[in-house]
Amino acid sequence: MNDNLNTEKQGLKGVVLPPQPSIIAEIRRFKDDREKVSELISTDPSLASGILRTVNSPAFGLIEEMVSIQDAIQLLEIERTLNIVNAILIKSSIDYLSDVDLTTFWMSSSDVAKACAAISCYLNLGLEDVAYTTGLFHNCGLPIMASKYDDYWKTIVHSYHAINATSTIVFHENQHYSTNHAVIGYFLAKAWHLPQNICNAIRFHHNPKFYLEMDDDVQDLICILKLAEHIVGVYHVVGGQMKDREWPLFKAEALAHFGLSEYDYEEMAGVIKEKVEGLL
């Protein structure tokens, strides 16, 4: 796997990864000082409101609404708050590099992120912030690849259509570009100093064979992610398909990983959809 990663890394030449905003380094610098971190975040009203909006969303399942950044940090601790900060800031960082409208892409990514958090909450996994960040970051390699290759979105639609047991989305990307959006996303996550389990989940989220070799915490995130993608219909919004051709490659393992029957899954999916749509 490392050999493959080194080979695919060669395709990064000419790809611009958005730099991490300086406020994140500042938060890390004062990670043992809640008051200072609260002060730093509060200097950016957009970021502060984004954090509160995220943690107060139905996907996070809080009993009491958080009304201040101090409340949020008290509840989440600084490391978990930092995950949400990264998730919020990645959007503006990528938008700055892109010359195309990414509204639909971000709506899809946001839905996946909310679904990931909601699944963690529903299954009592305690991974809401990590799952949310994974959901928002997992496809960030797509617009970065598209900024380099004019035909990239067409290739992605073709790749989704051509999925089968031996031919994944990233397989087709590698054929065209000698790298893929999962690799780009992995190196972006590493550059932004995200936790290693998130980085690995991004790296292997289209590899039904390799992800089973990962540690349990990575498998947790990938299984959450595949459930979320299927529930909110990423295959339609991003892949332009009426059928999720990738789901059969992950379904059995994802359900078994969490001990879910088909009935359990259908019941959960209904709840998650309502949470993503803000109905619960």
Max Cα–Cα distance, the chain, nearest Å: 52
Kindly state whether residue 141 falls inside one of the protein's structural domains: yes
The reported pLDDT for the residue numbered 271 is 96
* Pair 4, 173: CB distance under 8 Å: no
**End-to-end alpha-carbon separation of the chain, Å?**
42
Domain at 87, CATH number: 1.10.3210.10
- What is the chain's percent helix, strand, coil content, to nearest 5? 70, 0, 30
Query: CA angle, 108 as apex, 105 and 114 as ends, to 5°?
Result: 140
**Residue 1 pLDDT exceeds 60:** no
Listed residue (106, 35, 104, 45) closest to 74, CA to CA: 35
Could you report the per-residue pLDDT of 218-230, keeping only the tens digit for each?
Answer: 999 999 999 999 9
Question: Could you give the number of structural domains in the chain?
Answer: 1
For the segment 71-82, the average pLDDT, to the nearest whole number, is: 90
The reported pLDDT for the residue numbered 241 is 87
Confidence of residue 16 (pLDDT cuts 50, 70, 90): confident
For the segment 77-106, the average pLDDT, to the nearest whole number, is: 90
Strand partners, 164: 167
The reported pLDDT for the residue numbered 170 is 93
The reported pLDDT for the residue numbered 88 is 93
- State how far the Cα of 276 lies from the Cα of 280, in Å rounded to an integer: 9
- Name the residue type at position 160: Y
Burial of 90 (0-12, 13-18, 19+ CB in 10 A): buried
The reported pLDDT for the residue numbered 164 is 85
DSSP H helices in 98-213: 103-122, 128-137, 141-148, 152-161, 169-177, 181-191, 196-204
Cα Rg of the chain, angstroms? 18
Listed residue (258, 262, 4) closest to 131, CA to CA: 258
Could you report the per-residue pLDDT of 138-184, keeping only the tens digit for each?
Answer: 999 999 999 999 999 999 999 999 898 788 999 999 999 999 999 99
Could you report the per-residue pLDDT of 208-217, keeping only the tens digit for each?
Answer: 887 778 889 9
* Pair 41, 86: CB distance under 8 Å: no
Kindly state whether residue 25 falls inside one of the protein's structural domains: yes
Question: Residue 21 is part of which domain span?
Answer: 8-276
The reported pLDDT for the residue numbered 166 is 80
For the segment 56-82, the average pLDDT, to the nearest whole number, is: 90
Kindly state whether residue 132 falls inside one of the protein's structural domains: yes
Strand partners, 167: 164
**Residue 2 pLDDT exceeds 80:** no
Q: How many CB atoms lie within 10 A of CB 177?
A: 20
- State how far the Cα of 228 lies from the Cα of 269, in Å rounded to an integer: 9
Across the chain, mean pLDDT equals: 91
Kindly state whether residue 2 falls inside one of the protein's structural domains: no
The reported pLDDT for the residue numbered 54 is 93
Supply φ then ψ for residue 164, to 5 degrees: -150, -170
For the segment 205-209, the average pLDDT, to the nearest whole number, is: 90
Q: How is residue 7 written in tokens?
A: 């080979």
Could you report the per-residue pLDDT of 36-58, keeping only the tens digit for each?
Answer: 999 999 999 999 999 999 999 99
Could you report the per-residue pLDDT of 93-114, keeping only the tens digit for each?
Answer: 998 888 888 999 999 999 999 9
**Residue 5 pLDDT exceeds 80:** no
Kindly state whether residue 129 falls inside one of the protein's structural domains: yes
Q: How is residue 189 written in tokens?
A: 């996550």
Kindly state whether residue 1 falls inside one of the protein's structural domains: no
Kindly state whether residue 267 falls inside one of the protein's structural domains: yes
Could you report the per-residue pLDDT of 117-130, keeping only the tens digit for each?
Answer: 999 999 999 999 99
The reported pLDDT for the residue numbered 13 is 75
Q: Is the dihedral of CA 75, 52, 238, 102 positive or negative?
A: negative
- State how far the Cα of 243 lies from the Cα of 265, in Å rounded to an integer: 18
Could you report the per-residue pLDDT of 234-273, keeping only the tens digit for each?
Answer: 988 888 888 999 999 999 999 999 999 999 999 999 999 9
* pTM for the whole structure: 0.92
Kindly state whether residue 178 falls inside one of the protein's structural domains: yes
Query: CA angle, 176 as apex, 112 and 92 as ends, to 5°?
Result: 40
Higher local confidence (pLDDT), 156 or 14? 156
* Pair 189, 198: CB distance under 8 Å: yes
**Residue 8 pLDDT exceeds 80:** no
* Pair 204, 222: CB distance under 8 Å: yes
